[in-house]
Amino acid sequence: MTTVVSSHVVPNDRVESILRARDDALVAERQVEPGRFELVEGPFRRWTRTVEVTPVDDDHSRVDQRMRFAVAMPVWGIVGGPAIARMVRRHAVDEHVTPWWLPPDRLSARAADVVSRCCLLAVLGGFVGGLVGQTITFIGTDLHFRVDAQSRALAIIRLGALLTMAGLALADRRGRRPLILWTGIGAAVASTLGALAPDLAWVTASQLACRGLVAISVLLLPILAAEEVPAGSRALTVGVITMSGGLGVGMVLWVLPLADVSTSAWRWIWALSVLAIPATWAVCRGLPESRRFEARAARSATTQASPAIWNRRLVLFGLIVTLLYFFVTPVQQLQNEFLRHARGFSATRITLFVIGTNTWGGIGVIVGGWIADRRSRHSVAVIALVGLAVGNAAMFAWHGWSMWVASAVGSVIGAATIPSLGVMYPELFDTSGRGTASGILNIAAVVGGALGLAIAGPLIDQRGYGLTFAVLAVAPIVAAIVMKALPETARRELEDISGPNSD
């Protein structure tokens, strides 16, 4: 339990509001006795607030408040303890003053716990799934294959999307939680075995299994969370979960300088995947099944949505996803190769570049999620897609500090695609088909990424990085235009978005 004490002299006309049970963006209380309040709803396992009022003069009184609480946020509550305490202290003076990053709709203790666990699992999945992309250039040096072989291997690995689609379809019948647990563990095992690879074929096979399994887990996390949180907080929630996955990928960069120790040192980085096995088990032990899935399973009924709506949305959003990943996948997978060979960066300098320019993407996720939840998914997505294309294309064309600035701009603006587009994966489809739809969209992402890599590799060898990525950048701009054909989903309940009369 954390205790926060607040003492302020306030005008007497403010005292009455402080002595009332609160019902705001942070917490809902009930009065158990004069000056003492307990939790009704909020992101806390326990909450009590006591208030003592002492007159100072005819116009002012001293208000002493003591808040004792335990946040329903495993691990993250410890990490963010000071920020949470500061938020509660400010909130004690004025319940209308809450942090700008707080979700628009109040989270319950269960929702906060689910989101926190999903974020932890996203970190683990991000680390395991991000290994091959961050280390492929070093594996190529150790096992003696060129950039065109890297592109082919990365394209083959994406065939794991077929496994991903089967797993996500199974999640619509068996539940989100068991698939998250076992695919997360399976991915960690496959990645650990990849550290023993004697050749490119072994690396490709282990990552085919790893990426297929980790994608099931990672794609189910925002689905489970979106089925739990209030309608006005879905975009920010999905953005934070995805950003946690980015933190997991970033953790690969923390240890990437080890790759400079020797040509085979990448194996020790991959071997760290073994730690994700017990961590995944521990986090999933307290993860509940989605209430919407449980309700759907109890009714044993299928959606009554029109097939025309389903097909139209799936085709349109699938096109957007294909175009997006046609550009994003080559950017992500070939950036380290570009920095290492075209710009002469060492592993340490690559780490500094990626962390120094991509870390700012968190701003885009939070601000984009805030706007997408309160106003529009569409407006945020269009700006983000254009910024993503322009910033990253410029990065591959420029040198020196301008390259760093272009990467940072593309990262900040482009990161807003995460809450604006990412939340639409679970929003556009019914509970009974949400996993299957995500599986199909994942196939679209893989196809787009594979096409992008297949075109990027030979074109880079012939024309260089600058022209190649300028050509690829047309795809996300076209995706921004297609966005207009999809319905707006902000601040609508999932059942209203994907129901029979939703369009």
322-343 pLDDT tens trace: 999 999 999 987 898 899 889 9
Asked if residue 186 lies in contact with residue 129, where contact means CB atoms within 8 angstroms, the answer is no
Mean of per-residue pLDDT scores for the chain? 89
For residues 372-397, average pLDDT: 95
pLDDT at 31: 96
Which residue would you say has higher pLDDT here, 23 or 303? 23
pLDDT at 333: 79
For residues 458-463, average pLDDT: 90
**299, 305, 306, 307: CA torsion to nearest 10:** -80
Whether 301 has a pLDDT exceeding 60, the answer reads no
Whether 502 has a pLDDT exceeding 60, the answer reads no
pLDDT at 360: 86
Rounded to whole angstroms, the Cα distance separating 7 from 145 reads 66
306 pLDDT band (50/70/90 cuts)?
Answer: very low
pLDDT at 503: 47
Least confident of 142-151, 284-293, 429-438: 142-151
For domain 2-72, the CATH architecture is: 2-Layer Sandwich (3.30)
Percent of the chain at pLDDT exceeding 90: 62
Least confident of 141-145, 283-287, 302-306: 302-306
Per the structure block, which two tokens stand in for 442?
């994942």
For residues 470-482, average pLDDT: 97
168 pLDDT band (50/70/90 cuts)?
Answer: very high
Rounded to whole angstroms, the Cα distance separating 115 from 387 reads 28
For residues 154-168, average pLDDT: 85
For residues 389-403, average pLDDT: 95
For residues 183-190, average pLDDT: 97
For residues 197-224, average pLDDT: 93
Integer angstrom CA distances of residue 284 from 186, 211, 236, 317: 14, 20, 22, 31
Hey, where are the domains in the chain?
2-72, 113-498
pLDDT at 100: 66
Asked if residue 442 lies in contact with residue 164, where contact means CB atoms within 8 angstroms, the answer is yes
Cβ contacts of 278-284, under 8 Å, gap ≥ 24: 279/120, 279/124, 280/121, 280/124, 280/181, 280/184, 280/185, 280/188, 281/181, 281/185, 283/74, 283/117, 283/120, 283/121, 283/124, 284/117, 284/121, 284/177, 284/180, 284/181, 284/184
Q: Which residues pair with 8 in a beta bridge?
A: 63
C-beta neighbour count of 352 within 10 angstroms: 15
For residues 113-135, average pLDDT: 94
pLDDT at 308: 41
pLDDT at 300: 57
For residues 231-250, average pLDDT: 91
For residues 66-93, average pLDDT: 86
Percent of the chain at pLDDT exceeding 70: 95
Asked if residue 5 lies in contact with residue 70, where contact means CB atoms within 8 angstroms, the answer is no
Asked if residue 355 lies in contact with residue 250, where contact means CB atoms within 8 angstroms, the answer is yes
Total residue count of the chain as it appears in this document: 503
Least confident of 270-279, 309-318, 415-424: 309-318
Q: Which fold has domain 113-498?
A: Growth Hormone; Chain: A; (1.20.1250)
pLDDT at 392: 96
101 pLDDT band (50/70/90 cuts)?
Answer: low
Residues 6+ apart with CB under 8 A from 10: 18, 60, 61, 63, 93
303 pLDDT band (50/70/90 cuts)?
Answer: very low
For residues 209-213, average pLDDT: 94
pLDDT at 95: 66
Residues 6+ apart with CB under 8 A from 259: 135, 138, 265, 266, 269, 347
Least confident of 235-244, 388-397, 445-454: 445-454
Rounded to whole angstroms, the Cα distance separating 365 from 238 reads 9
pLDDT at 305: 44
Rounded to whole angstroms, the Cα distance separating 189 from 97 reads 47
C-beta neighbour count of 36 within 10 angstroms: 13
Q: pTM of whole model > 0.85?
A: yes
For residues 365-390, average pLDDT: 94
